[in-house]
Structure 1
Amino acid sequence: MSVRERVDRDEDVCTEASKITCLYYEAMDRKRDKIGHLYVAVDPTLLWNGNNLQGYDDICKFIQQLPQTDHNIQSVDAQRLPTIEETKDLPEGIIMNVAGTVTMGLTSHGFVHNFVLMREDGKFKTLYRQWTILCTLSIDGGEHILAEKWANIMKERWRDESLLVEKASDCVETIALRANIMRLRTMQKRMNECEERMSELSTGYSSVTSRTSSLHDACERALKNQTHLASMAEQIKANLYYFKQANLIFKKLSSGTKLSVTGQSFTSILSSIDEFLQLLRSHREWKEADVYIEKYEQCLSRAMTCIRASVLNEIEAAAMDVSRRREELSGGEGRKDGSITDEETLTLLYGVFSSRAQSVKSALSVAESRFSGVPEFEAMLSECMQVYFSTRQQLINPILEATLAQLAATQNDSSCTLTRSSSSFLLRVIDDEFRLYRQFFSMEGMDGGMETPGGMSVISSRTERIPPTPSSPSSFFWSETSSFDQFVEGLSRLLYNILRPMVIHNPHLETLTELCAILKVEMVDQRCGLMASMMEGEGMESRGGMNIGRRSFDPRGAFVRVMGELVGDIVERIVYRAEMYAQSDIASYRPSPGDLAYPEKLEMMRSIEEGQKKKTSVSEVVEEERENGEGGRKISTSSISLSTPSAVDLHCLWYPTVRRSVMVLAKLFKYIDMGVFQSIARDILISCCVSLDNASTAISVMPKKSGWSRSLDSILFVIKHLLILREQTAPYRHAAQRSDASLPTRDLSIDFSKMRSSASNLLYDRSKWFELSTNNAFLELLFQVPIQVSEPTGDSRRVIDNRLKQRCNELVSLSNTLLVKELNDFLDLAEKEAVKTGFVYKNVPSIAPKEIQAIGGRSFKNLSTNWPMIRSALNLYIGVNETESILLSPMRSLCISTWTRLHSFVSSYLSEEDQSIAAIPSLSHIHSIIRG
């Protein structure tokens, strides 16, 4: 081996020794629980101050018990183990000597550690370790003796101790001590033997004690088992009773003898079936328990069959009894024609059935008290109800049809009277049927109802009906109420079939609205809704009184639904008739000469109103004199006269189509849905506006009688009545804004113009049929959308506003013509000439100062004459200061702007001399006239 290799090997050994030293003393001082990983797993050795410890576990335990240490390494010497022939099979090893100081507790010592390290799993671990703590000895000036000197001193002391032991072995005391030691060892041996004997005796005693206790426990268990078996035998004997009774009960229920379902025997049988089924279902583990449960269910089914047969027999017997008594009454004395009245038949129907109701109700109550939750009971009770309702329907339908037909025949001339009387009669029948129904069937869900003064049961329910699931406890109550609803609906359909043809063929809009009011307000809202709201409050009280789980029921609900359908039919008829009325009586109205007598009619009513005011003022003076004479306070008529409407504004003076439109809308608003009303109102208002336009045209061509133009009369006539319509329909607009129907109404319109133009191009331009370009007429016809559908928005609130705005613009335009038309024409001409190049006003005769003077004079005269006329016309037609000021405001603005243009032109182009010649009126004069 070369020197370089030896040097490299020694450097590797030193590096490994340095790493192991750091790891070992770090674990020794701070991580002793991990120091075991630094020892080999097989037979490591630790020599601690002469104490030899071997084995991995002993070394780890010993190190854990040492006090806390803090090592300070001063020197590390490491060498590889020499390799010889005898040890060449051993793993690679390192001999390491470590010296330094260690602090244990509060004392610091020197130490020398000798390690023998062997490689295990690729790592060096401690195989042998010698740990020696050095004591400090002062020799020659306080120098410290280290490893080799300390070993020599220990060898000399050991040699001295061995000489002392050899000398003392021949001493008498030593011999006596050795004899005592022998006796002590003998006594210790005997003591160990005694302990072994005592342990054996204790084990035997424990074994005997446990076996004796086991025998005692076994005897007690045997006695307990004997007692339990005896009690089980008694229990089995008792339980066999439930199995033996199955056949006996079935024989009793199947026997030919008639068994009273309301008797004590039948009740005890039902109680036994209930008890036995409950017991067997709670002990499904019993042998043949399922078999006998099925047997008892058969007994239950048989009992249900007996109850069903009894109830059906009672209902059938009641129907036969009614038929028999009718025959007896029809064949009795005083019956020449062999017939009886419907009133007598109804008395028989309710009297006979009421006499048999108690037995049916008792039988059903017995079954319900025992088996209210059994599905078979619900099916049986449902079948009984169906038979009951079918029987009642067969008996009462002919009588109702005859009675309603008689009412229709006697009251054929008044459909409103017929509707009111027939509906009242049907409601009385429904109340009687419900009272009889409750006499037959117990309805706990309806017991929270309220009895009205007439004896009719009122049920506290207007809640939304949600059909329950079959497993719900209230599912059967739902089936009961549905059956009664179906029965009442069948009765209500008889009235519906009589009234509907009358509604469909009724041409009178007033009669239709009255019918709608009778059905919707009187019958549904008042007679049904008011009573239902009273019962709803009563139902809330019953729910507060621990009746939370019960449903409530309205016996008139089916009647309300059917009448709701009839009301819908009436509304459809009203819509149709309203559209026809709008076309025939409003849009197509032909006015009489008296209808178009404007403003004569308004002037006459104004004179009447002034006469009334004079009389009122005279009465006020007389009243004041009387008050002064009496010295007391009286109520003056002046306050009454102020609240009295103007004679001009009375609806009798309205144009007939306006009056008809307002009256029709007032009737329809109460009974029609807001969305439908909005559509009808829009059509009626459009028709009314068309009639007003026609009347305006007729007024404009009539001979002039008043002091102003007939065009002004025609425009103010329309504006007046549009303002009346706007005021009268304001409540409807507010109601529409508060509802969903305030959305704009859309009408569909179809446009065929594109299809017509494409077809014409195809026929007239045949040369371009097969041309591959955008001008191909054949492809245009194939691929272009032939029909265009649009949805124009028609809001009824905008109909009057748009027409009123249009007419106000016409009024402003007409006033501009009457007041400053000549002046506007002159200014347009003058301004046109002024923009030309080289303009000199003296060279244009039409705008000479004298011409300006003449035009200004005529215009000022027109303004002075026509402005009071327009104000008086507005006062006569409108009569409201605020509205008049709104209408006059744009007229004033146009007049002032026109005269301002004239002043601006004159001051810009005319000299001062020519301005004095023109002598146009000042703007202050214009303002004084307009504001006056």
Structure 2
Amino acid sequence: MATTPATLPKSGAVSKGYNFAYAWEKNAPLTEQQNAAISALSHAVAERPFPANLEDGCTAMPEKESALEEAGAMDAVLVNTHQFYKWFAELESAMKSETEEKYRLYESTLEERVKTCDGILQQVDDTLNLFEELQSLHSSVAIKTKTLHDACDQLLVEKQRLIEFAEALRSRLNYFDELENASTSFYSQTMNIGNEQFLPLLKRLDDCISYVENNPQYAESAVYLVKFRQLQSRALGMIRSHVLSTLKAASSQVQAAIRGSDSGKNAVTEGVEASLIYVRFKAAAGELKPIFAEIESRSSKKEYAQILSECHSLFCEQRLYLIRGMVQQRISEFAKKEALPSLTRSGCAYLMEACQFEHQLFAHFFPASAPDVSSMAPLMDPLCSHLYDTLRPRLIYEGNIDSLCELVDILKVEVLGEQLSRRGESVAGLRPILQRILADVHERLAFCARTHIREEIANFRPSDEDLDYPGKLERSATSSANVNDNSDIYAAWYRPLEKTVSCLSRLYHCLESSVFTGLAQEAVEVCSTSLQNASKVITKRATPMDGQLFLIKHLLILREQIAPFDIEFSVTHKELDFSHLLDHLRRILRGQVSLFDWSRSTSLARTFSPRVLENQIDARKELEKSLKSTCEEFIMSITKLVVDPMLSFVTKVTAVKVALSSGSQGQKLDSVLAKPLKTQAFASPDKVAELVQKVGTSIQQDLPKVMTKMTLYLQNPSTRLILFKPIKTNIVEAHIQLQSLLKSEYSADEIQSIGMLSISDLQSQLDGLL
């Protein structure tokens, strides 16, 4: 049987073709769209028709069958078995011969095609060999070309590096070569500040110095740096000399112009003088502005910062030379004509105006330095000092608190608060001297306030008219009733109270909180003491009730008047205590401890070290305590005035009962107490009726007088109600105690004969007094 194509061995050409196709597929893969197209094409040709030659082979068999049929093979008559087998063998041989013929034809066709494919693959193999040879030649050429290109690139890089190195070397040497050029230029006779090459040459010199400073590793860099700095110092010295000469020349021109104006008239007006001092000076010194701008642009370097500071000083000196006399003259004129408050207001306003003009002129020449007001200190401080020197002697002799408070208001509100804020940074240089003046005024005001508190309040010596209470209140009430207002309300106050309230009201907004707190604490304390002393005198001259109501009235007013002050009236006093020193010295003298034993608590250092004692005093709490005790005394005195007989009777009965219960008084007392209470001489119904009548009379006669006097001293009804309420409670409580005693010891008829009011009627009667 012939070999099928599937078992044929692969030739070399087929293998190379397969490898080429695989390499091609790997290096040039198809896209998804291309794969889809191939798949569609394969499905389209899956059931293709047989080739023409095969179709002929397939149709040959029927033709042969028909030939056999024509030969009579199919129609043969089989007589016996032998004939059948013979016929069948012939038929089988014919069929086998026809089958083998078909496959031989197919085999020969395939062999022809294999030979054709082998020829084609051989050609492809030859072509691939030629391609590989060509690719090898191309790779060799590409390598040689790349090597040549790399060599060229390397040569170009090397060339560029050498060029850059040469340029860098040349640029570095330029800084050092510049020394000779700069030396020649700066030491030239024609070189000056006005030369157009001066500033560019100075900038180049600065660059050279910076470069040499940043590269100390170069040879002889230190030597070059010293030489460069010498040239820089010479250039800056030329600038300083030029600035000084120009400013002096401008000042001379202004002075000459002022003298020329003086020759034409007796005095130069203020407007003309200001025009000459500012406008003429600005024009004469205008050439310095570009130089100052250059210096300010380089002020980050210490050499230029120093020369800039010197230029500021030179400018301020020349300006001070021009305007000092004018400022002194104006302030002196103010001092001759005006009082201290007006002098302060006028002097500060004029000085602010002058400083504003000076700041504008300074900003014209030094725009970058103008925001720093300290640059103008050499000019501002002397001008401000003249105002300070004028005001201080008058401040020292000013003893009026009102004037000093007015000064504080002018300086704090008008000058520092309004004018200084409105004019802005142009007058900010005045702030230190104005704050210094304000501090001096505060100090003087605090001193005068303490003197006022000591002399007018603590050491107040009242006259008979000052202590005329309640007469002063009666006259004040009559006067107020006539004019129908309360304009003379302060006339009824005790003068130390009026002085205290007035002083604290003026000082509250004028002094610092810490200073005012100390003064307020002291003033309230001495005022309370003065009121208490006056109350004692009034008690002796008038009645105890007048003394108590006087003290209550004025303590209430003092508490009310100090309430709006948002401060703490608590002050801590610190004192040094040496009381332990004597005991330590005695122990040392007795030899109990060593004087030089530094390890013990009784050493010399500890022995002579004082102890610090702190004593905290709260004037407001002391005032409340004094007011409370005075009110309690008044309540008890009025209670005693009205119901003293009743209280004495209840107290006596209570004492007798206590003595009886203790059994310590003996036989005689027992015999007395063995009798009923109403049989006792002091507790008979008539005696009880008499004391009840006496208390009733006091309620009807004395208590209204008390209320009238309370109305005279205490105008506020709520205050009188608060003070009368405990008095009413005490009176009612005394009646309740007596009624309770009567119910337990007396009969109903006896109680009725005593004639005591009911509690409800008593309360109604007391309420009617209000």
What TM-score do you get using the length of structure 1 for normalisation?
A: 0.58
Counterpart for residue 510 of structure 2: 671
**Secondary structure of the structure 2 residue equivalent to 1:255:** coil
Between the aligned partners of 2:767 and 2:233, the Cα distance in structure 1 is 101
Partner residue of 1:252 out of 171, 185, 198: 185
Using the TM superposition, give the Cα deviation of residue 681 of structure 1 relative to its aligned residue in structure 2, in angstroms: 1.5
1:681 corresponds to which residue? Answer: 520
Q: Decide whether aligned partners of structure 1 residues 207 and 646 sit closer, same or farther in structure 2, where only a CA change above 3 A counts.
A: closer
Structure 2 counterpart of 1:920:
756
**Which residue of structure 1 lines up, in the alignment, with residue 708 of structure 2?**
872
- Counterpart among 861, 876, 887 of residue 723 in structure 2: 887
In the TM superposition, 1:709-748 aligns within 5 A as: 710-732=543-565, 735-736=566-567, 742=568, 744-748=570-574
Q: Tell me how many residue pairs correspond in the alignment.
A: 617
Contiguous gaps of at least 5 residues in structure 1: 1-200, 447-479, 533-553, 614-644, 704-709, 737-741, 774-778
For 2:353, give the aligned amino acid: R
Q: Which amino acid aligns with 1:566?
A: I
- Determine if contact 1:485/1:557 at 8 Å carries over to the other structure: no
- Higher fraction of strand: 1
**Equivalents in 2 of 1:430, 1:415: separation in Å?**
22
What is the match of residue 418 of structure 2? 526
Q: Is the 8 A contact 1:393 1:487 kept in 2?
A: yes
Equivalent position to 1:417, from 318, 325, 342: 342
1:315 equivalent in structure 2: 247
Q: 2:521, 2:569 within 8 Å by CA — same for their partners in 1? A: no
> Once the two structures are superposed, what CA deviation does each residue of 1:92-131 show, in whole Å capped at 9, x if it has no partner?
xxxxxxxxxxxxxxxxxxxxxxxxxxxxxxxxxxxxxxxx
| Residues 346/898 of structure 1: CA separation in 2 closer, same or farther (3 Å cut) | same
Which residue does the alignment assign to 1:14?
A: none
Distance 2:636 2:153 in 1: 123
1:195-274 matches, within 5 Å, as 212=144, 216-217=148-149, 220-221=152-153, 224=156, 228=160, 231=163, 235=167, 239=171, 244-261=177-194, 264-269=196-201
Q: How far 1:802 moved relative to its partner?
A: 2.7
Output the CA distance in 1 between the equivalents of 2:175 and 2:540: 109
Secondary structure in 2 aligned to 1:791?
A: strand
d(CA) in 2 for partners of 1:394, 1:563:
23
**Counterpart residue number, 1:657:** 496
Q: Distance in 2 between matches of 1:769 and 1:439?
A: 79
User: Aligned partners of 2:420, 2:205: CA distance in 1, in Å?
Assistant: 45
1:153-164 mapped onto 2 (5 Å cutoff): none
CA distance in 2, matches of 1:303, 1:897: 105
Is the CA contact 2:646–2:734 (under 8 Å) kept in the aligned structure 1? yes
Measured after TM superposition, the shift of residue 891 of structure 1 is 0.9
Amino acid at match of 2:156: K
Counterpart-to-counterpart distance in 2, 1:689 and 1:219 = 110
Describe the shift of the 1:813–1:292 C-alpha distance in structure 2 as closer, same or farther (beyond 3 A): same
Which deviates more from structure 2 when the two are superposed, residues 665-674 or residues 346-355? Answer: 346-355
> 1:432-461, CA deviations, whole angstroms, 9 ceiling, x for partnerless residues?
221221122122774xxxxxxxxxxxxxxx
Q: How does 1:381-530 map to 2 (within 5 A)?
A: 381-411=308-338, 414-443=339-368, 446=371, 480-485=372-377, 487-530=379-422
Q: Quick check: 2:296–2:366 contact (8 Å CA) kept in 1? A: no
Amino acid at match of 2:435: G
User: In structure 2, the residue corresponding to 1:722 is in which secondary structure?
Assistant: helix
Determine if contact 1:492/1:562 at 8 Å carries over to the other structure: yes
Contact 1:685 1:799 in 2 (8 A): no
1:791 equivalenced with 2:614 (yes/no): yes
Query: In structure 2, what is the Cα distance between the partners aligned to 1:721 and 1:431?
Result: 53
Calculate percent identity across the aligned residue pairs: 25
CA distance in 1, matches of 2:736, 2:636: 18
Q: Which moved more, 1:747-756 or 1:693-702?
A: 747-756
Partner of 1:353: 281
Aligned match of 1:832: 655
Alignment map for 1:51-90 (pairs within 5 Å): none
**Aligned-pair distance for 1:494?**
2.2
SS in 2 for 1:257: coil
Alignment of 1:87-102 (within 5 A): none
Answer whether contact 1:318 1:353 (CA < 8 A) is retained.
yes
Q: How does 1:549-588 map to 2 (within 5 A)?
A: 554-588=425-459
C-alpha spacing 1:715/1:357, structure 2 compared with 1 (3 Å): farther
RMSD: 4.5
Q: CA deviation at 1:655?
A: 2.7
The CA deviation string for residues 874-896 of structure 1, in whole angstroms up to 9 with x for no partner, is 22222222211111111112112
* Structure 2 Cα separation of the partners of residues 717 and 305 of structure 1: 83
Question: Aligned-pair distance for 1:530?
Answer: 4.5
Q: Is the 8 A contact 2:520 2:569 kept in 1?
A: no
Which deviates the most, 431-440 or 280-289? 280-289
Cα separation, partners in 2 of 1:316 and 1:722, compared to 1, 3 Å: same
Question: 1: CA distance between counterparts of 2:221 and 2:340?
Answer: 70
Tell me how far apart the structure 2 counterparts of residues 715 and 227 of structure 1 sit (CA, whole Å): 115
State the 1:295 CA deviation.
Answer: 6.7
- 1:815-835: CA deviations, max 9, x gaps? 122111222222211110122
Residue-by-residue CA offset, 1:242-273 (whole Å, 9 max, x unaligned): 66555324422331114344x64335435655
Partner of 1:811: 634
Report the CA distance between 1:673 and its aligned residue. 0.9
Which one-letter code corresponds to 2:571 in the other structure? T
CA distance in structure 2 between the partners assigned to 1:787 and 1:276 by the alignment:
68
Q: What residue in structure 1 maps to residue 623 of structure 2?
A: 800
1:561 offset after TM fit, Å?
2.0
**In proportion to residue count, which structure has more helix?**
2
Question: Residue 514 of structure 1: CA displacement?
Answer: 2.1
1:294, distance to aligned residue in structure 2 (A) = 7.4
Task: Return closer, same or farther for 1:717/1:441 CA change in 2, 3 Å cut-off.
Answer: same
Residues 786, 808 of structure 1: CA spacing in aligned structure 2 closer, same or farther, 3 A cutoff?
A: farther
